[in-house]
């Protein structure tokens, strides 16, 4: 026993303490509780993992399971409250607690002047709690607890500025879209219960492995597709990605922690976790790969023209998540998880850097009103450049290592996917550097007085910058290899070169358009006006959803459910009953003389009747 | 030949209890002063207590007495609250006639 | 039938002694009060006013019995007799001494012993409220009504601390029968200090005595009868024998309460120190000593009035003192002496306080009962219960 | 001695109860009820329930009824007027009661063996010791609950007795 339960309990305690007494206590107390709880959790993760031999002798391949108590027992179904740690969750644990710790530290600087300080940190701790539950879960139901919990926290944190309409709407949107995915996920859980009689990861995967690959394909496909629906909701894949860009309404640390580094990768984690099931369902794998690739392309194209710095990075997140799903769909689960980790580093860094920039220019998020910040906030600039290099796949950075593995796996799956992926990678490099150049080069176009952020913000930036650059050398794919089914892997050098070249090309194009010849960008957008407009308005997806889903539901509810069913039938029944009751009551109320003594007489009459009845039937003796 | 038996049957106690209870009911039905009505209720409770204790004797167990003890407690609590209500009623309506207090009718 | 005859004899004896005592208690009170206030008190009727109670009885019996109009006759008549009856009944469960043998018949110096004797006394004292309340109400007089209500409220309020104060020594004695309570107080700590409940229960005793003053409507708690505030409280309309009945009830209550205090707290008829140290000679010494003093004063030429009475008294006291030395009478007389001495001492305290303390205000009185006396009694009971539970064999 | 005592106090009880019902003045009714209670206490003693008898006197006669008498005196409630607004009672009351007593006595007579005599002193389990033991062991929970009940009653009485409600 490594007392795994302590890992999530620390943040939970932090949540409870801050939530209960945070309003009264000072900021220092809130900081200490929030950061301390996550720090303790992180240290406990390190202790538990090193006790398992992760950093030394090597971790055992089977999971370490801790069983606490039986949660649900119904018939043959037995769901325990169990936690488990294997290599996969070990990686996730480190990412979640490590990045989470950095972002907590960062947030103390970023949120220093915001209202609802204690509320923010108690939510953040609650999120950590649920995320750790999700990662530590030893069965699908516990995972579902965490799954729902992080969704709740995401909603709470997106809507953190609940007095602003758009933030509240964005929160609701995220919540509702996630519900769709959760519905798929819960259906998948039911199917698993029906087919395997258990929700335990160990038992389900044993049973799946024992089956021949081609057997039960239909049910496996169904389960996996439903899982993918859930994953698409949580990890923002087509068609459920629409909530993630709006989620940027929340505070920037939230975007970094929840909507870039951890929660949105929960879908990837879950599918990687279920890899034993997915290998039985090639159709589902193909769907995952294609949807992932489509998401990557679509989000990247939208990202090309956005002007809000956080929107750009949000679409970039969607796009990178698409890459991860591409990897999963191609069977390269380890590569997908590796990208989760590296992406957590550089995307968290990008968001935190963006936060630092926004902080510096006084809350402005529009790239067109920045510029020339390079010399004013140098630390932010250089750390963001590190992240941008990593995401663009420049050699020897973390992004290059993971992205190359994904693209190679995609090539082995289907060469056309590789090519589309390479082009997308180029676009990624282009739009990321576009925003870097727009923000940091040229002359300052805003009105604020930019200033560097405090050490609590730049410190995490620098740590993440180091990780973004050097994270590629972590032996994560090798570490995860035994967890997943084998993929044949014969790296061909030209594949890597092509990918790197596309990235570099993207960077140079961005330099050309936004530093060397700024006029070219305007000219291009004028020339491709229609396309630009289409991209700028995100393919009109939100509008389409409004027209096809939201409006019909609202209208249908209003006209059919409300006016027809509710008023016509339900109210009709209720009111009808009421009228009948009034009529009957009108007759009966003659008995209610209001005279206590008559009532008493009736009571006596009744008792005599009862006693007589009992005496005559002989039930008294 | 004694005029009376040396001891009385248990049923006499129960009959006494029944008679007292009926008199309590009668008081409840026929009296119009709300306090007297309340006292009739107490009389009924007392009658029931007598039954409890008679049965306690019959079964040679103390439990019946415990129940009558609880009845007393309830009666005391009831008297405190009930008399408070009566005082309030009197303050608001300045009458104790139970037939006059019938604003709940119809 | 032996039982009935014996009970009748005892009842007659007790009634006679008690009624005489009540009458002379009045005389003693007047005398003591007078001396406290540097007066002489009743002096005319008989030597030193000794026949004054008799004269009072005659006066009360022969006075016109007024029946004011507009009173509720039935209850007006009922109230005083209810009061005095209830007060006298309580005496029946009180023992005055141990089991004795007279002419070969063994009997207790008590009318009847009940397992629940203490509860009976408490119950009777709670019934006693009716006499007062009814008297106040039936007189159809606002002063008497207020007096009656005040008195009833006061008696109900002080009954709680009274009962709680009694409950604590009951825990020590583990019985509700007066006999057994007294028996548990026999014997001496270290051979000298009496095992009376008053020693561990000194607070209980004080609370009991304070509550007893209120319960009997005595100064400083005699609000219901406050002459200058409420004329005379609930019995303002009463005269003649009915007034005497209330008077008797009050004094009977005093005797009951002091007797209960003696039985529960002061060890009943047990001597305050062992026979081995000569407690058996105390009464003889006392009576002989006072007889000597009486003789001395009687022979003094400056007191011509007492030339006859004081020497006679002295001789009688000598005789009584010698009676205590007769071995056959000792087991009867000694316990009786101790019991009477203790009760008498407490009664003297009653009179003494009446001569000393002023009267409370009514709100002070109620506040004192509920905010101090009641919590204190409760606390005393709790602590006692705790100690009894922790040291069950002490 | 049992039978005369029973008959005497049963007679007093019934007479007092009738007096309760018949008397028009509330005070008379209240004192009649006290009479019922006191005679019932004696009957309890005959049945071996010493503690309950004492509690009957102290709690019922001494506390509850005093409260009644108080309220009656405070409100200065007079005699009742003759009026009846409930025809139900007027026409069916007496017959109903007669039927009621008849049914009950019929059932009681049938239920109990004739030989079940009440002899004073054969049942001595009603002292404070036994009652207390039962209260604090078997019936501990109900006993504690009554304390809450009494607390509620106290609060209720205080709230009701306030000047404004």
Q: Per residue in C43-99, pLDDT tens?
A: 888 777 888 888 888 888 888 878 888 888 888 888 888 888 888 888 888 888 888
Most confident of A113-117, A404-408, C207-211: C207-211
How many domains in chain D?
2
C223 or C332, greater pLDDT: C332
D126 or C370, greater pLDDT: C370
Q: How many other β-carbons are positioned within 10 Å of the β-carbon of residue C193?
A: 11
The CATH number that applies at residue D48 is 1.20.120.1200
* pLDDT, chain C, mean: 84
Looking at residue D81, the DSSP 8-state letter turns out to be P
Instruction: State whether residue D163 sits within 8 Å of chain A by CB.
Output: no
First-to-final CA distance of chain D:
55
Give C151's contacts in chain D (Cβ within 8 Å): none
Looking at the predicted structure, is the pLDDT value of residue C1 above 70?
no
Q: How many other β-carbons are positioned within 10 Å of the β-carbon of residue B3?
A: 6
Looking at the predicted structure, is the pLDDT value of residue A365 above 90?
no
Q: Is residue D102 part of a domain?
A: no
Supply the DSSP string of A163-231, one letter for each residue.
TSHHHHHHHHHHHHHHHHHHHHHHHHHHHHHHHHS--BHHHHHHHHHHS-TTTTHHHHHHHHHHHHHHH
Residues D65 and D7 in one domain: yes
Q: How far is the C-alpha of A132 from the C-alpha of A10, rounded, in Å?
A: 10
Contacts of A518 (CB under 8 A, 6+ apart): A442
Strand partners, C188: C194
Q: Do D116 and B9 touch (CB under 8 A)?
A: yes
**Average pLDDT of C367-382?**
91
Whether omega for the bond prior to residue C220 falls within 30 degrees of 0, making it cis, is yes
Q: Do C149 and D73 touch (CB under 8 A)?
A: yes
pLDDT of residue D81: 67
Which residue from A602, A612, A621 is facing D103, i.e. has the nearest CB?
A: A612
**Average pLDDT of C203-219?**
87
Number of helices (H), then strands (E), in chain A? 27, 2
Q: Do D92 and A612 touch (CB under 8 A)?
A: no
- Residue whose pair of structure tokens reads 């969704």 in the numeric block: A151
**Average pLDDT of D67-89?**
72
Residues D3 and D60 in one domain: yes
Share of chain A above pLDDT 90, in %: 15
Query: Contact, A251 vs A203, CB < 8 A?
Result: no
pLDDT of residue A12: 92
Strand partners, C105: C102
Q: Which one of D89, D101, D112 would you mutate to disrupt binding with A, by most A Cβ within 10 Å of its Cβ?
A: D89
Q: How far is the C-alpha of A223 from the C-alpha of A183, rounded, in Å?
A: 12
**Average pLDDT of A606-613?**
83
- Counted across chains B and D, CB pairs separated by less than 8 A come out at 249
Domain boundaries along the sequence of chain A: 1-188+244-263, 291-531, 542-617
Looking at the predicted structure, is the pLDDT value of residue C209 above 70?
yes
Contacts of D152 (CB under 8 A, 6+ apart): B77
Residue A143 — pLDDT band, cuts 50, 70, 90?
A: very high
Q: Is residue D11 part of a domain?
A: yes
Residue B3 Cα, gap to closest chain D Cα (Å): 10
Q: Is residue D53 part of a domain?
A: yes
pLDDT of residue B106: 47
Q: Is the dihedral of CA A380, A384, A387, A393 positive or negative?
A: negative
Which residue from D50, D61, D66 is facing C152, i.e. has the nearest CB?
A: D66
Which of residues 40 through 79 in chain D touch B, CB cutoff 8 A? 40, 43-44, 47-49, 51-52, 55-56, 59-60, 63-65, 67-68, 71-72, 74-75, 77
Q: Give per-residue pLDDT as tens, A535-567.
A: 777 778 888 888 888 888 888 888 888 877 888
Looking at the predicted structure, is the pLDDT value of residue D93 above 80?
no
Helix (H) or strand (E) holding C102: strand C97-102
**Which residue is closest to D113 within chain A, CA to CA?**
A621
Q: How far is the C-alpha of A83 from the C-alpha of A68, rounded, in Å?
A: 8
Instruction: State whether residue D51 sits within 8 Å of chain C by CB.
Output: yes
Q: Give per-residue pLDDT as tens, D15-74.
A: 999 898 888 888 888 889 999 999 999 899 888 888 888 888 888 888 888 888 888 888
Q: How far is the C-alpha of A113 from the C-alpha of A164, rounded, in Å?
A: 17
Give D104's contacts in chain A (Cβ within 8 Å): 611
Return the SS3 of C269.
coil
Q: Do A620 and D96 touch (CB under 8 A)?
A: no
Angle, CA A268 vertex, CA A3 and CA A44 arms, to 5°:
20
Tell me the residue ranges of DSSP E strands in A18-170: 64-74, 77-85
Q: Do B29 and A597 touch (CB under 8 A)?
A: yes
Instruction: State whether residue D27 sits within 8 Å of chain C by CB.
Output: yes
Looking at the predicted structure, is the pLDDT value of residue A132 above 90?
yes
Strand partners, A308: A366
Question: Phi and psi (nearest 5°) for C99?
Answer: -70, 135
Q: Give per-residue pLDDT as tens, C139-165.
A: 888 888 888 888 888 888 888 899 899
- Nearest alpha carbon to residue A352 among A226, A260, A445: A260
Neighboring chains of C (3 or more beta-carbon pairs < 8 A): D
Q: Do D92 and A601 touch (CB under 8 A)?
A: yes
Which of residues 119 through 158 in chain D touch C, CB cutoff 8 A? 127-128
How many domains in chain B?
1
- Nearest alpha carbon to residue D55 among D64, D46, D67: D64
**Which residue is closest to A600 within chain D, CA to CA?**
D89
**Which residue is closest to A612 within chain D, CA to CA?**
D103
Return the SS3 of A490.
coil
Chains A and C touch (3+ CB pairs under 8 A): no
Q: Do C133 and D66 touch (CB under 8 A)?
A: yes
Q: Is residue B70 part of a domain?
A: yes
Looking at the predicted structure, is the pLDDT value of residue A621 above 60?
no
* pLDDT, chain A, mean: 86
Share of chain A above pLDDT 70, in %: 97
Residues D132 and D70 in one domain: no
Instruction: State whether residue D96 sits within 8 Å of chain A by CB.
Output: yes
Q: Is the dihedral of CA C286, C291, C292, C297 positive or negative?
A: positive
- Nearest alpha carbon to residue D45 among D123, D117, D112: D123
Domain span holding position D151: 127-165
Contacts of D33 (CB under 8 A, 6+ apart): B39, B42, B43, D16, D20, D65, D68
Give A595's contacts in chain B (Cβ within 8 Å): 98-99, 102, 105
pLDDT of residue A10: 92
Instruction: State whether residue A554 sits within 8 Å of chain B by CB.
Output: no
Give D142's contacts in chain B (Cβ within 8 Å): 70
Looking at residue C280, the DSSP 8-state letter turns out to be G
Q: Do D134 and B62 touch (CB under 8 A)?
A: yes
Q: Give per-residue pLDDT as tens, A73-109.
A: 888 888 889 999 888 888 899 999 999 999 999 988 8
Residue A617 Cα, gap to closest chain D Cα (Å): 12
pLDDT of residue A15: 92
Q: How far is the C-alpha of A528 from the C-alpha of D108, rounded, in Å?
A: 105
Going residue by residue through chain B (106 aa), what tens digit of pLDDT does each one get?
455 666 788 888 888 888 898 888 888 888 888 888 889 999 999 999 998 998 888 888 888 889 998 999 999 898 889 888 888 888 887 778 777 776 665 4
Domain span holding position B46: 32-99
Q: Which one of B41, B85, B104 would you mutate to disrupt binding with A, by most A Cβ within 10 Å of its Cβ?
A: B104
Q: Is residue B69 part of a domain?
A: yes
**Which residue is closest to C114 within chain D, CA to CA?**
D50
Q: How many other β-carbons are positioned within 10 Å of the β-carbon of residue A38?
A: 27
Looking at the predicted structure, is the pLDDT value of residue D12 above 70?
yes
Return the SS3 of A64.
strand
Looking at the predicted structure, is the pLDDT value of residue D151 above 70?
yes
Instruction: State whether residue B101 sits within 8 Å of chain A by CB.
Output: yes
**Average pLDDT of A268-295?**
89
Q: Do B25 and D118 touch (CB under 8 A)?
A: no
Return the SS3 of B17.
helix
Q: Do A620 and D89 touch (CB under 8 A)?
A: no
**Which residue is closest to C120 within chain D, CA to CA?**
D54
Looking at the predicted structure, is the pLDDT value of residue A1 above 80?
no
Query: Contact, D2 vs D46, CB < 8 A?
Result: yes
Supply the DSSP string of D93-137, one letter for each residue.
HHHHHHHHHHHHHHHHHHHS-TT-EE-TTS--TTSHHHHHHHHHT
pLDDT of residue B1: 42
Domain boundary residue among D49, D79, D109? D79
pLDDT of residue A101: 92
Q: Give per-residue pLDDT as tens, C334-356.
A: 888 889 999 999 999 988 898 88
In chain C, what are the helix, strand and coil shares in percent, each to the nearest 5?
70, 5, 25
- Residue whose pair of structure tokens reads 């062991």 in the numeric block: D137
Distances in Å between the alpha carbon of A51 and those of A93, A99, A350, A478? Answer: 15, 21, 33, 20
Q: Give per-residue pLDDT as tens, A425-466.
A: 889 998 888 888 888 888 888 777 888 888 888 888 899 899
Return the SS3 of A579.
helix
Residue A499 — pLDDT band, cuts 50, 70, 90?
A: confident
Q: Is the dihedral of CA D122, D123, D124, D127 positive or negative?
A: negative
Give A593's contacts in chain B (Cβ within 8 Å): 102, 105
Q: How far is the C-alpha of A572 from the C-alpha of C66, rounded, in Å?
A: 79
Q: Is residue B1 part of a domain?
A: no
Distances in Å between the alpha carbon of A381 and those of A5, A352, A433, A464, A505? Answer: 40, 11, 12, 13, 21
- Nearest alpha carbon to residue A203 among A86, A69, A332, A79: A79
Q: How far is the C-alpha of C212 from the C-alpha of C301, rounded, in Å?
A: 45
**Average pLDDT of A160-175?**
89
Instruction: State whether residue D52 sits within 8 Å of chain C by CB.
Output: no
Q: How far is the C-alpha of A100 from the C-alpha of D93, rounded, in Å?
A: 81
Q: Is the dihedral of CA A254, A257, A258, A261 positive or negative?
A: positive
Strand partners, A80: A70
Instruction: State whether residue C126 sits within 8 Å of chain D by CB.
Output: yes
Tokens coding A244:
């993630």
Q: Give per-residue pLDDT as tens, A219-235.
A: 888 899 999 999 998 88
Strand partners, C101: C106
Q: How many other β-carbons are positioned within 10 Å of the β-carbon of residue C215?
A: 25
Contacts of A496 (CB under 8 A, 6+ apart): A404, A408
**Average pLDDT of A390-394?**
87
First-to-final CA distance of chain A:
65
Supply the DSSP string of A10-51, one letter for each residue.
HHHHHHHHHHHHTTTS-HHHHHHHHHHHHHHHHHHHHHHHHH
Q: Is residue D98 part of a domain?
A: no
Q: How many other β-carbons are positioned within 10 Å of the β-carbon of residue D159?
A: 12
Tokens coding C271:
């001597």
Instruction: State whether residue D80 sits within 8 Å of chain B by CB.
Output: yes
Return the SS3 of D3.
helix
pLDDT of residue A516: 80
**Which residue is closest to D49 within chain C, CA to CA?**
C116
Most confident of A273-277, A596-600, C389-393: A273-277
Give D97's contacts in chain A (Cβ within 8 Å): 604
Angle, CA A165 vertex, CA A160 and CA A169 arms, to 5°:
75
How many CA within 13 A on the CB side of residue A513?
Answer: 21
Instruction: State whether residue A595 sits within 8 Å of chain B by CB.
Output: yes
């Amino acid at each position: 026993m490594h007392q795994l339960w302590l890992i999530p309990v620390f943040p939970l305690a932090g949540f409870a303490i801050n939530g209960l007494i945070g309003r009264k206590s000072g900021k220092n107390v809130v900081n200490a509780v929030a950061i301390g709880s996550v720090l303790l959790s992180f240290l406990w993760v390190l202790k538990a993992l090193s006790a398992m031999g992760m950093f030394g002798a090597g971790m055992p391949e089977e999971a370490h399971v801790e069983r606490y108590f039986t949660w649900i027992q119904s018939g043959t179904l037995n769901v325990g409250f169990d936690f488990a740690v294997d290599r996969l969750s070990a990686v996730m644990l480190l990412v979640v607690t490590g990045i989470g710790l950095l972002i907590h530290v960062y947030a103390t600087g970023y949120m220093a002047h915001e209202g609802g300080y204690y509320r923010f940190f108690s939510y953040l701790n609650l999120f950590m709690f649920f995320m750790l539950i999700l990662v530590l879960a030893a069965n699908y139901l516990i995972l579902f607890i965490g799954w729902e919990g992080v969704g709740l926290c995401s909603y709470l944190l997106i809507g953190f500025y609940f007095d602003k309409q758009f933030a509240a709407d964005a929160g609701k949107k995220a919540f509702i879209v996630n519900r769709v995915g959760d519905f798929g996920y819960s259906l998948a859980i039911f199917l698993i219960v029906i087919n395997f009689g258990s929700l335990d990861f160990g038992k389900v995967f044993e049973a799946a492995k024992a089956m021949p690959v081609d057997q039960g394909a239909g049910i496996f496909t169904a389960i996996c597709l439903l899982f993918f629906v859930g994953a698409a909701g949580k990890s923002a894949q087509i068609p459920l990605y629409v909530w993630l860009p709006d989620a940027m309404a929340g505070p920037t640390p939230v975007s970094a922690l929840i909507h870039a580094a951890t929660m949105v990768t929960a879908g990837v984690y879950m599918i990687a976790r279920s890899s034993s099931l997915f290998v039985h369902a090639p159709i589902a794998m193909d769907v995952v790969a294609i949807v992932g690739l489509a998401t990557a392309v679509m989000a990247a194209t939208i990202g090309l023209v956005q002007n809000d710095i956080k929107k750009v990075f949000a679409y970039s997140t969607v796009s990178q998540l698409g890459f991860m799903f591409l990897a999963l769909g191609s069977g390269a689960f380890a590569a997908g998880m590796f990208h989760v980790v590296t992406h957590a580093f550089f995307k968290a860094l990008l968001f935190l850097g963006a936060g630092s920039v926004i902080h510096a220019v006084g809350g402005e998020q529009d790239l067109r009103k920045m510029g020339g910040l390079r010399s004013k906030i140098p630390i932010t600039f250089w750390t963001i450049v590190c992240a941008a290099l990593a995401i663009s796949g420049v050699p020897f950075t973390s992004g290059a290592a993971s992205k190359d593995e994904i693209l190679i796996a995609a090539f082995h799956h289907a060469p056309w996917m590789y090519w589309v992926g390479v082009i997308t990678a180029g676009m990624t490099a282009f739009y990321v550097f576009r925003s870097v150049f727009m923000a940091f080069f040229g002359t300052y176009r805003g009105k604020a007085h930019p200033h560097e952020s405090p050490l609590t913000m730049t410190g995490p930036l620098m740590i993440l910058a180091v990780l973004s650059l050097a994270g590629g050398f972590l032996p994560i794919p090798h570490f995860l290899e035994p967890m997943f089914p084998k993929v044949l892997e014969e790296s061909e050098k030209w594949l890597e070169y092509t990918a790197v070249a596309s990235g570099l090309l993207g960077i140079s194009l961005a330099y050309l358009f936004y530093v060397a010849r700024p006029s070219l960008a305007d000219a291009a957008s004028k020339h491709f006006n229609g396309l630009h407009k289409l991209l700028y308005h995100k393919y009109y997806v939100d509008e389409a959803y409004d027209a096809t889903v939201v409006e019909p539901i609202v209208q249908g509810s209003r006209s059919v459910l409300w006016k027809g069913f509710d008023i016509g039938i339900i109210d009709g029944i209720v009111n009808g009953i009421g009228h009948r009751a009034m009529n009957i009551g009108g007759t009966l109320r003659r008995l209610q003389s209001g005279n206590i003594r008559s009532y008493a007489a009736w009571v006596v009459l009744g008792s005599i009747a009862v006693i007589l009845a009992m005496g005559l039937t002989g039930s008294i003796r | 030949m004694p005029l009376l038996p040396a001891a009385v049957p248990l049923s006499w106690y129960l009959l006494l209890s029944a008679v007292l209870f009926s008199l309590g009911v009668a008081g409840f039905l026929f009296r119009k002063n709300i306090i007297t009505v309340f006292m009739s209720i107490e009389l009924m409770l007392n009658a029931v207590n007598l039954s409890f204790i008679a049965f306690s004797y019959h079964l040679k167990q103390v439990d019946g007495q415990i129940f009558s003890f609880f009845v007393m407690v309830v009666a005391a609590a009831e008297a405190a609250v009930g008399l408070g209500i009566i005082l309030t009623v009197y303050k608001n309506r300045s009458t104790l006639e139970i037939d006059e207090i019938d604003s709940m009718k119809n | 039938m032996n039982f009935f005859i014996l009970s009748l004899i005892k009842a007659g004896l007790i009634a006679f002694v008690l009624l005489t005592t009540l009458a002379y208690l009045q005389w003693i009170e007047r005398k003591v009060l007078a001396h406290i206030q540097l007066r002489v008190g009743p002096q005319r009727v008989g030597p030193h006013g000794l026949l004054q109670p008799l004269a009072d009885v005659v006066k009360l019996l022969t006075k016109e019995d007024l029946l004011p109009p507009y009173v509720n006759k039935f209850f007006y008549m009922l109230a005083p007799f209810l009061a005095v009856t209830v007060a006298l009944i309580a005496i029946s469960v009180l023992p005055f001494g141990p089991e004795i043998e007279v002419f070969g018949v063994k009997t207790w110096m008590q009318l009847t012993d009940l397992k629940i004797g203490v509860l009976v006394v408490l119950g009777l004292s709670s019934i006693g409220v009716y006499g007062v309340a009814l008297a106040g109400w039936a007189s159809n007089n606002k002063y008497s009504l207020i007096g009656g209500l005040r008195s009833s409220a006061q008696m109900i309020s002080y009954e709680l601390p009274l009962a709680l104060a009694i409950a604590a020594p009951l825990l020590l004695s583990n019985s509700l029968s007066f006999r057994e309570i007294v028996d548990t107080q026999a014997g001496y700590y270290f051979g000298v200090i009496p095992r009376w409940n008053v020693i561990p229960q000194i607070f209980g005793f004080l609370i009991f005595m304070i509550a007893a003053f209120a319960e009997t409507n005595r100064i400083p708690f005699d609000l219901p009868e406050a002459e200058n505030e409420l004329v005379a409280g609930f019995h303002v309309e009463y005269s003649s024998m009915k007034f005497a009945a209330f008077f008797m009830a009050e004094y009977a209550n005093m005797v009951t309460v002091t007797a209960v205090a003696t039985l529960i707290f002061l060890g009943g008829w047990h001597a305050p120190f062992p026979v081995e140290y000569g407690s058996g000679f105390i009464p003889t010494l006392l009576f002989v000593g006072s007889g000597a003093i009486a003789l001395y004063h009687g022979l003094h030429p400056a007191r011509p009035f007492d030339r006859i009475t004081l020497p006679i008294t002295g001789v009688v006291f000598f005789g009584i003192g010698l009676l205590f030395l007769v071995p056959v009478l000792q087991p009867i007389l000694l316990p009786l002496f101790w019991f009477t001495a203790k009760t008498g001492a407490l009664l003297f305290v009653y009179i003494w306080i009446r001569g000393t303390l002023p009267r409370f205000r009514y709100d002070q009185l109620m506040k004192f009962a509920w905010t101090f006396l009641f919590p204190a009694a409760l606390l005393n009971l709790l602590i006692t219960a705790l100690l009894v539970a922790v040291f069950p064999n002490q | 001695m049992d039978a005369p005592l029973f008959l005497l106090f049963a007679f007093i009880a019934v007479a007092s109860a009738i007096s309760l019902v018949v008397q028009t003045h509330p005070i008379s009714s209240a004192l009649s009820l006290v009479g019922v209670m006191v005679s019932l206490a004696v009957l309890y003693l005959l049945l071996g329930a010493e503690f309950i008898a004492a509690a009957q006197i102290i709690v019922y006669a001494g506390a509850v009824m005093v409260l009644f008498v108080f309220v009656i005196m405070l409100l200065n409630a007079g005699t009742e007027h003759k009026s009846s607004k409930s025809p139900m009672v007027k026409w069916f009351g007496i017959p109903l009661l007669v039927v009621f007593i008849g049914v009950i006595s019929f059932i009681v007579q049938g239920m109990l063996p004739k030989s079940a005599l009440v002899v004073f002193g054969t049942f001595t389990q009603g002292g404070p010791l036994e009652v207390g033991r039962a209260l604090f062991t078997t019936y501990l929970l109900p006993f504690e609950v009554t304390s809450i009940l009494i607390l509620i009653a106290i609060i209720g009485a205080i709230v009701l007795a306030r000047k404004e409600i």
